[in-house]
Amino acid sequence: MIIFKHQKDLSNFLQKQVNQGATIGFVPTMGALHAGHASLISESKKHCKLTVCSIFVNPTQFNDTADFAKYPKTIESDIALLESLQTEVLYLPEVSDLYPSGTQQLEHYDLGKVADVLEGPSRPGHFQGVCQVVNRLLMAVQPHQLFMGQKDFQQCRVVARLLELTNSSVKLVTCPTLREPSGLAMSSRNMRLSEVAKQKAAAIYQALNYINSSLKPGPIQTLTEEACSILEKAGFKIDYLKVCNYYDLSETDQWNGTDVLVILIAAYIDDVRLIDNMIVSSR
Ligand code: AMP
């Protein structure tokens, strides 16, 4: 695996590969890699000749400075995992490489409705930060395909909007969520949970499954209240638990039996904010 720290060197190398016919798959991450990230790398390797992974904890997407400061960093094991997966390229920039003019006064994207709900009000500025870094990374890597996880369902929607706004030809591939045997979605943030909290955190998956398996056409408020109590009994403080339209993420309190829905949860346990979602399976 070749590790690049500077955009210019990375771009020069990749351009040469593309000129020789390589297709580039790109997996952006914030490190503290786990099997979920590995699944994105494997997917990229299936479709593209050369896979580029980036590890960069982007300061502009953290609305909470403590969360940024506490973000886990495990660079040595990350490199070992990427090597074991035969990842061809790792881009490991410093803040100054991606933001040469600093992180103040950055561009603003018109992300529309998909960024105004769910994570939007809970984490002001988060999706602007995501787009600021993803756009810079895409400029540096110029991939053919971009691999992201359904775990961050709303983020995938926002990045799709960014690609539209920038007239990008990059193909966004959304990959399924990898889970622990308990059902807990794998996440770098799980490293901050105690063993007891990790056990209790499986309640998110139980709450998602509960709604998914019990949903019938008609009002859904009782189901969401029952799912909330599953979370609260496990010790979660709920930020949101919503059932939304799959396509535009508008919240719904009724199901007509045909619309595709997605259930989304953000909740705190041990002061760690976890998110997860489930697409309602067709009946
Ligand atoms: P992160 O390092 O958390 O920014 O995540 C980098 C990429 O990995 C994003 O596209 C995430 O959606 C994806 N990802 C995170 N957790 C999982 C998981 N459990 N399964 C699949 N993909 C994931």
Span 11-40, average pLDDT? 98
The tens digit of pLDDT for each residue in 190-225 reads 999 999 999 999 999 999 999 999 999 999 999 999
Atom of ligand 1 nearest to the CA of 30: 2
CATH code of the domain made up of 2-175 = 3.40.50.620
Residue type (1 letter), 202: A
User: What average pLDDT is seen over the chain?
Assistant: 97
Atom of ligand 1 nearest to the CA of 177: 20
In angstroms, what is the span from residue 242 Cα to ligand 1's centroid? 21
Task: Using pLDDT thresholds of 50, 70 and 90, give the confidence band for residue 283.
Answer: confident
Residue type (1 letter), 152: D
Strands 24-29, 50-55: parallel, antiparallel or unpaired by DSSP? parallel
Q: Tell whether ligand 1 has an atom less than 6 A from the beta carbon of residue 151.
A: yes
Q: Write down the pTM of the prediction.
A: 0.98
Give the per-residue pLDDT at 5. 98
Q: Tell whether ligand 1 has an atom less than 6 A from the beta carbon of residue 7.
A: no
CA distance 16 to 153: 34
Give the per-residue pLDDT at 282. 78
Task: Using pLDDT thresholds of 50, 70 and 90, give the confidence band for residue 74.
Answer: very high
Q: Tell whether ligand 1 has an atom less than 6 A from the beta carbon of residue 142.
A: no
Cβ neighbours of residue 262 closer than 8 Å, sequence gap 6 or more: 153, 243, 244, 245, 246, 249, 277, 278, 279, 280
Q: Where are the domains of the chain?
A: 2-175, 188-275
Superfamily of the domain at 188-275: Pantoate-beta-alanine ligase, C-terminal domain (3.30.1300.10)
In angstroms, what is the span from residue 178 Cα to ligand 1's centroid? 9
Atom of ligand 1 nearest to the CA of 186: 19
Known catalytic residues are 37
Chain CA centroid to CA 189, Å: 12
